Structure 1
Amino acid sequence: MRQDDAQAAAGRTVDTFLIGGSAGAFNVVKEIVHALPEDFGAAVFVVLHTGSADLPRAHEIIGFRSAIRTRLAEDGQPIEKGTVTFAAPDRHLLLGRGHIHLARGPRENLFRPAIDPLFRSAAVYKRSQAVGIVLTGMLDDGAAGLRQLRRSGGLAIVQDPKEAPFPSMPAEALKAVEEAEVLTGEKIAARMIELAGSPAPQEGEVTEQVELELMIADLEANTMANAERMGELTPYNCPDCNGVLWEIKDGPVVRYRCHTGHAYSRLALNEAQEEALERSLYESLRAHRGRISVIRRMLNDMTNDEGDAKKRLEERAKSYEEDARAIEMIIRKRADAV
């Protein structure tokens, strides 16, 4: 008997679906959930990149009039077939041994909840019984996690980038997992129904790194020594905490982590650095304007008897004003380039 036949005989079936999406994914998830029957033979978990205040509302709107049961994730909930569980605000959604775990670990790819931690947890605890699905969205959250899930034996489905409103996320997922099944949004639910309860494929490997990164998402292993074990030190700083970053290479997927646990893909790191640079420019402009204001007030209070000191302060004020104008020009040029 082949190994996959033996697994099927042992009762291992596809029983877990993981859906991740960002910009434009709300309507796709709604379409998928509304197409699933009440007796759907698997558990479904959804991470959407939306504002924290919008997550419960998204769950309620998508769950309205759906045949399958929907719920917002709570720590310790059992994993239940025939249920769609949506990630809660400001918490990573992780799978454990038969239960759900919510963790306020470091942000990954600029988000919490992020898609990669969910996929990674399934790679450890569900392996070939899980199917990862990446939908429309910006940047590339989910690509690294989908690759890790696929390595452990799980299946991969990616929304066709050609029809995705925002093709970056599914396109990057396909670069990470070239063999992923590519489907239009309207066909994903039908494929999920076909796969649910089918014999699970042969299990793959779960590397030490995947397990370590899962612990980091749960705030259990955020140390400099563990970061060194995962990659090579870079000259880059973490945009979130200013710590050093280590580069992690996994085939075509290149990522970065700091020792406090913040994680970035290359696209996410570029975006975060761009935001950090903009913040620093505005902070510098504010500081210059503050210095100019203080110096001008000092000049107003000075007498003509303080001629030399007054002249030096006037020159300093003019210098700050020139610097402020230069910073303003940089900000305008950056805005025009977007």
Structure 2
Amino acid sequence: MDRAVTHRADTVVIGGSAGSLSALRILLSKLSADLPASVLVCQHVPGRGSLRAVDLLRKYSTLSVVAAEDGMEIVQGQVIFAPPDVHMMIGHEHVHLRRGAHENNFRPAIDPLFRSAAVYRGTRAIGVILSGLMDDGSAGARAMHRTGGRVLVQSPETADFPDMPSAALDAVPEAEAIAIEDLAAEINSIADTPVVSPAPVPWDIGVELKISGLEGASMENENRLCQLSPYNCPHCNGVLWQIEDGPLTRFRCHTGHAYTINSLNEMQERALDESLFSTLRAHRGRAALIREMAKKTSGSESRRRLEERAKLYDEDTKRLEEIIQNRKPILSLHDAPDW
């Protein structure tokens, strides 16, 4: 049976990373001053940069631009930015701020915001992915698409960093790629249009939203969502469960950390780099300590054995230095926006 047309599109959620500040300047400057929708933005900005972004973007928008506060009401004609170091999520008619586990190596992350729009707004929601590295937002965009929301993507050719828009298009082939200059006009035209009433939310989307809000992270839930993988969580060293989400392969640990396969690879690279330097430090320290022991040893044979052991640690140190020197640089996810 067809669902009745009883609702209107009234919620816009936007996610962006590297290069998204310039895109937001264009987008917000062209949104209608009487936009009949609320707008919520999650941007990957280091430290307290998101608060600075709010101050900067107020100059370009005729809408009210504010930083989110926990429990604040979601109203039409307002742009709400995720503050530093917490996930921003939509409730029934208000904002939730939760210091849940990092997702895709970020907090705030785009996926929890989009997933909350899927749960609490469904067909009323419009998701927008802007310029950025890697693929945060892709899983959230899939969740929105599964619950009937519209997904718009800044066309990769107009993005300073096309990775994130391209990943969203791969995850949701039905998403619409739109040049940044035309994106606001599309949102203006969709806002307040009639939509069918939301369908029941798939159980897995609801469970993952609860996990992001520290309400449902447990081994039992992960077992329901997916299967155990041979990998450990780079953040907490817990076991990771592997989720096959359409074209996406994703991972979660029972404390709530979540990764796409790309963000897991990036974090493992960082963990390996740190481990190599830690091992290098340990080898140098061992060589120095054993030589100090040799100096204080009276027996010539004992001194010789200790000096030989120190030389072995020196050889291992040289090998580690060569390995570190030959490793390729790690592409950082945490690029600052183009202030």
TM-score (norm 2): 0.94
8 A contact 1:154–1:201 mirrored in 2: no
Q: Aligned pair 1:184/2:179, yes or no?
A: yes
Distance 2:73 2:12 in 1: 15
Local SS of the residue matching 1:182: strand
Q: What secondary structure is seen at the aligned counterpart in 2 of 1:200?
A: strand
| Alpha-carbon displacement from aligned partner over 1:211-268 (angstroms, at most 9, x marks no partner) | 1111101111111111111001110111111111111112111100011110000110
2:39 to 40, 44, 65: 44
State the alpha-carbon separation in 2 of the partners of residues 102 and 257 from structure 1.
Answer: 20
The match for 2:147 is 152
Query: Given the alignment of the two structures, is residue 230 of structure 1 paired with residue 230 of structure 2, yes or no?
Result: no
Q: Report if the CA contact (8 A) 1:151-1:205 is conserved.
A: no
> Residue 117 of structure 2 aligns with which residue?
122
Tell me how far 1:301 sits from its aligned partner. Answer: 3.2
Query: How far apart, CA to CA, are the structure 1 residues paired with 2:196 and 2:188?
Result: 16
| Matching residue of 1:294 | 289
Structure 2 CA distance, aligned partners of 1:335 and 1:296?
34
Among 311, 318, 329, which residue is 1:318 paired with? 311
Moved over 6 A (4+): none
Distance 1:252 1:277, change over 3 A: same
Unaligned runs of 5+ in 1: none
Distance between the aligned counterparts of 2:266 and 2:58, measured in 1? Answer: 33
Deviation string 1:49-106 (CA, Å, 9 cap, x unpaired) is 1102211001111112521100001100000100000001000010000000000001
Q: Which has the larger share of helix?
A: 1
CA offset at residue 168 of structure 1? 1.2
Q: Does residue 214 in structure 1 map to residue 219 in structure 2?
A: no
Secondary structure of 2:9's counterpart equals coil
Q: Which ranges of structure 2 fall in alignment gaps of 5 or more residues?
A: 332-339
DSSP 3-state at the match of 2:229: strand
Question: Residue 158 of structure 2 aligns with which residue?
Answer: 163
SS of the counterpart of 2:73? coil
Residue 204 of structure 1 deviates from its aligned partner by 4.1
CA contact (8 A) 1:38 1:69 kept: no
2 CA distance for matches of 1:272 and 1:169? 17
1:107 corresponding residue in structure 2: 102
Cα distance between partner residues in 2 of 1:204 and 1:97: 16
The letter for the 1-side match of 2:325 is R
C-alpha distance in structure 2 between counterparts of 1:111 and 1:245, whole Å: 17
Question: Does the Cα contact within 8 Å between 1:109 and 1:264 map onto a contact in 2?
Answer: yes
Q: How many residues align?
A: 331
Q: Which has the higher contact order (CA 8 A, sep 6+)?
A: 2
Residue 131 of structure 1 is matched in structure 2 by: 126
Structure 2 contact 129–153 (Cα < 8 Å) conserved: yes
Q: Retained in 1: the 8 A contact 2:295–2:303?
A: no
Q: Which amino acid aligns with 1:25?
A: S
In 2, Cα distance between the equivalents of 1:247 and 1:337? 24
- Structure 1 Cα separation of the partners of residues 269 and 65 of structure 2: 37
- CA distance in 2: counterparts of 1:330 and 1:299, whole angstroms: 29
Could you report, residue by residue, the CA deviation over 1:284-327 in whole angstroms, capped at 9, with x for unpaired residues?
0111111122122223333xx42111111101110111111101
The residue number in structure 1 matching 2:334 is none
- The offset of 1:136, in angstroms, is 1.2
| SS of corresponding position for 1:137 | coil
Q: Distance in 2 between matches of 1:88 and 1:22?
A: 14
Aligned to 1:87: 82
Counterpart CA distance in 1 for 2:114 and 2:166 is 17
Secondary structure class of the residue paired with 1:109 = coil
**Partner of 1:52: helix, strand, or coil?**
coil
Is the contact made by 2:28 and 2:60 (CA closer than 8 Å) also made in structure 1?
no
Report how far residue 196 of structure 1 moved.
1.1
| Alpha-carbon distance in 1 for matches of 2:247, 2:2 | 30
Offset at 1:133? Answer: 0.6
How far residue 337 of structure 1 moved from its aligned partner, in angstroms, is 9.2
State which drifts further: 158-167 or 23-32. 158-167
Q: Tell me, yes or no, if the aligned pair for 1:281 and 1:327 is still in contact at 8 Å.
A: yes
TM-score, with normalisation over the residues of structure 1? 0.94
8 Å CA contact 1:153, 1:205 repeated in 2:
no
